Amino acid sequence: VHNPVSNMRLGSGIAPVTALRDRGVTVVLGTDGAASNDGQSVLEALKVAVLLQRVANVDPQQWLTAHEGLSLVTSESARVFGFGTGRISLGGPADFIAVRRSGYAFAPHNDWHRQIVFGASSLDVCYAAVDGELLLDDGRITMFDEDAILAEAREMGPMIYARTEGGLHE
């Protein structure tokens, strides 16, 4: 599992994704934990993973394309973790996200692979379902009271910050 934002945050280097894939290693994408990645956005990790390969390997023929990058979070992940095909199929698992394409990242509409990888953010995700259960409905979490959790996190913030000062380099 490649966690590019966490690797950058910790100074752990750049994973040789292209070389690994060339040798038959399946690479999937992750966000790692909040202690080493201050956010948990798969779309952010996706963009960073694709762009980091351009820094690590200057030969443009070896760059990950947007389509290949998307496979790290769809078909490759599904295959590795045993979650179906990673593709929409009749009778397949009902796991999906829907991305709002009305924002700047999608104007004008053209290559949606590139627009999702290089321009979309988690704020563009408006619906998400796992095993047919809608977990995000028009941008609102359905499993718990999001506002109450955020209020509690804001209240605990100063205490957590005081305990972790001097931890990871900022």
The whole-number pLDDT of residue 82 equals: 80
pTM of the model: 0.83
Residues 117 and 69: beta-carbon distance below 8 Å: yes
135 neighbors 129 (Cβ within 8 angstroms): yes
Q: What is the mean pLDDT of each run of 10 residues along the chain (170 residues)?
A: 92 91 93 82 94 87 92 87 73 83 89 94 92 92 94 90 65
Predicted pLDDT at 45: 94
pLDDT at 68: 93
Residue 163 tokens read as: 């305990």
Question: Per residue in 20-51, pLDDT tens?
Answer: 999 999 999 999 887 787 888 999 999 999 99
Ordered alpha helix ranges (H), the chain: 4-10, 17-22, 42-56, 66-73, 75-81, 112-119, 146-164
